[in-house]
Each structure stands twice: as structure tokens, then as C-alpha cells.
Amino acid sequence: MITLTPDEVRARFGRLFSMKFLAMVDQNAGLAEIREHCRARGTIEWDAANRVRAKGAVQSCHVEGTTMTMIARLGVSPANFGAAGQEIGGQALEGVEVVGDEVVTTWAGIAGAASASPPACRRRRA
């Protein structure tokens, strides 16, 4: 696994389709609401389908326009891409943790989806 800041992700992979990322945490409930605003609707719909299929930390996910909202459990929950993952690729939110004053999200990606979410990449978002 590699750990990258948002600036390091941009330097390594270039401009990604995600424009804004907001994480709100309710530690008492053990949940986070994550909103991701993207450049295009089709791409975010594909991501939503992948994240629900792979499970991981995501409990639910929906898309409105170019914004995806995920409800995720706090902690780490390994993704399961299944047999289809090797053929069509996938990406998943594996973890949401509060470390000091930061919300740390952990992502996994395989095959074709790796350009959208670097493989086993931990991206720090404040």
C-alpha cells in the first residue's frame, strides 16, 4: 500500500475527474457521509455502481447530477471485487478513520478502474 496526499495524487496521476471531496463524520454513530463532486455524470455513476458492488466501508450510495453521496462505516472493511472485478475493474472505499483533526480515507482499485482510484492508495483529506 502507498500513502499519498491529494497533491501527491495529482502529481503522480494528473488531474482526476473528482473536483471536490467532503467528508462529514458522526463518531457517536460510527458513520461518515462522503460527498464527491465530479466533472461528468457518467463517470460518477460508474463509480457509484463499483463502490456498492465491492462493499468495503460503503453502506449506501446515491448520485444526484455529478455528485455522489456515500454513507460509510468508520473503520476499515476490506473490499471484495469478486470474479467480475478482474475483467471489468473496480474501485472501493475500504476505510474511513479519524486521525487527529483529519479524516483519512483508504481506497482500493483494480484493473481498469485504477486510473480513477490509485491501487491500494490512502488519500488524506481534511
Q: Long-range contact list for 32-36, CB < 8 A, 24+ apart?
A: 32/71, 32/72, 32/73, 32/74, 32/96, 32/103, 33/69, 33/70, 33/71, 33/72, 34/69, 34/70, 34/72, 34/93, 34/96, 34/105, 35/67, 35/68, 35/69, 35/70, 36/67, 36/68, 36/70
Its domain, for residue 16, covers 2-125
Highest mean pLDDT among 1-5, 14-18, 105-109: 105-109
Q: Does 108 have pLDDT greater than 60? A: yes
pLDDT at 89: 67
pTM of this prediction?
Answer: 0.76
For all residues of the chain together, what is the average pLDDT? 82
Percentage of the chain beyond pLDDT 90 is 39
Q: What is the pLDDT of residues 26-81, one digit of tens each?
A: 999 999 999 999 888 888 888 898 889 888 999 999 999 999 999 999 999 998 88
* Total domains in the fold of the chain: 1
pLDDT at 9: 80
Residue 91: the pLDDT is: 81
Residue 45 · residue 62 · CB < 8 Å: no
